[in-house]
Structure 1
Amino acid sequence: MGYTGGNTQANQYISFLKKTNGTTALNYVEQRRQPIPYIKRLSSRKLAKYIGHSLNHIENVDDRSYMQVLFENMPILKRVRKLVKRFKNMLRTGEGQIQEWIKSIEDSKDKLPGLKTFAKGLKRDIKAVQNAIQLRWSNGPVEGHVNRIKSIKRQMYGRASFELLRRKVLLSQSG
């Protein structure tokens, strides 16, 4: 800040201020005696997992207290949490207006880059998203079969003919 004096001058002035204002500070030894609690940061995966949960459902006490501190000190995280919970509720109940949800994210003054990208992707195929929310049908079983076939294909790559791959796929369905 442009101070050109030495350490002694600064220390003397700080001591003078402490005496005149009646404030005290811990000395070095007293500071060392006080334990500083260590809080392990959450990974981005855990943070994403917990953001839509109720704090009561987080089993790990340290994780729960960490999330509580985050929510108390970061109002934008509260907003993200509210939006995530609304989306989860739409998926769970099959009710809700996805277009209003997307519009609330787009109109938000907060910087929500992850949610804005997610909303933009949902908007590209809004009909499919609306059907996924409202209808009880799912393509999960089909995706499971496609995943199984692809993993068999990867195992067989470069080893044998198409006929052997075909037999392995057909036999794996029964077992």
Structure 2
Amino acid sequence: MKEHGYTGGYGAVRAYLQPFRATPTGPAALPPSPRTVASWILTHPDTLPESERLKLKSVLAGYPELDALTGHVRAFGKMLTQLQGNQLPQWIKAVCVDDFPSLHAFVNGLERDLAAVTAGLTLPWSSGIVEGHVNRIKMIKRQMYGRAGFGLLRKRVLPAS
């Protein structure tokens, strides 16, 4: 432009051309991470905030396989929380129809001891308290790091409870 006789500066040309430029749009919103989507799927739909529920719905709309997987996971969660173990065979059949290798491995593990899993999903009793005590005793034993035998372990465990 200077060769054609323009005597102005760069700033004036820039200011003149600015309205003609397309306004740059902000960066596209990043998609949610797989961990975030997994947490949305594993959260009970009633406790999920509305904004996250809408985001999950938009993600599931683009991926029908993920939508089917979400249905299976939530159905199993419902069986787990509402003690509906009698529905386990129907759930297993529904999972086997779809092509989800990770869920198929999970189902194979459930089928190895189906009676115990059904009882665990049906009966109101839990061994959680016992497992907690075993975990606590193992922690104390690890802290002792082999410095003493059963006598000292007994003295540390019994007064604590």
In structure 1, the residue matched to 2:30 is 39
User: Secondary structure of the residue that 1:127 maps to in structure 2?
Assistant: helix
Query: 1:133 Cα deviation (Å)?
Result: 1.5
% identical equivalent positions = 36
Gaps of 5+ in 2: 1-20
Change (3 A) 1:103 1:58: same
Alpha-carbon spacing, 1:72–1:115, altered in 2? closer, same or farther (3 Å): same
**TM superposition outliers: structure 1 runs of 4+ over 6 Å:** none
Higher relative contact order (CA 8 A, sep 6+): 2
Q: Unmatched 5+ residue regions in structure 1?
A: 1-28
2:29 is paired with a residue of what secondary structure? coil
Q: What are the Cα deviations for residues 16-52 of structure 1, in whole angstroms up to 9, with x where unaligned?
A: xxxxxxxxxxxxx53x7111233253242x4333214
Residue 68 of structure 2 corresponds to residue 79 of structure 1: yes
1:51 and 2:41 aligned: yes
TM, length-normalised to structure 1: 0.69
Distance 1:131 1:56 in 2: 27
Aligned residues: 140
Distance apart, 1:88 and its partner CA: 1.4
In 1, the alpha carbon distance for the partners of 2:30 and 2:48 equals 16
Matches within 5 A, 1:146-157: 146-157=134-145
Q: Give the counterpart of 1:166 among 151, 154, 160.
A: 154
2-structure distance, mates of 1:76, 1:51 = 13
Q: 1:119 aligns with which of 72, 82, 107?
A: 107
When the two chains are superposed, the root-mean-square deviation of aligned CA atoms in Å is: 2.2
1:74-113 alignment, distance < 5 Å: 74-95=63-84, 96-108=86-98, 110=99, 112-113=100-101
Contact 1:91 1:133 in 2 (8 A): yes
When normalised by structure 2's length, the TM-score is: 0.75
Q: CA deviation at 1:127?
A: 0.5
Contact 1:153 1:165 in 2 (8 A): yes
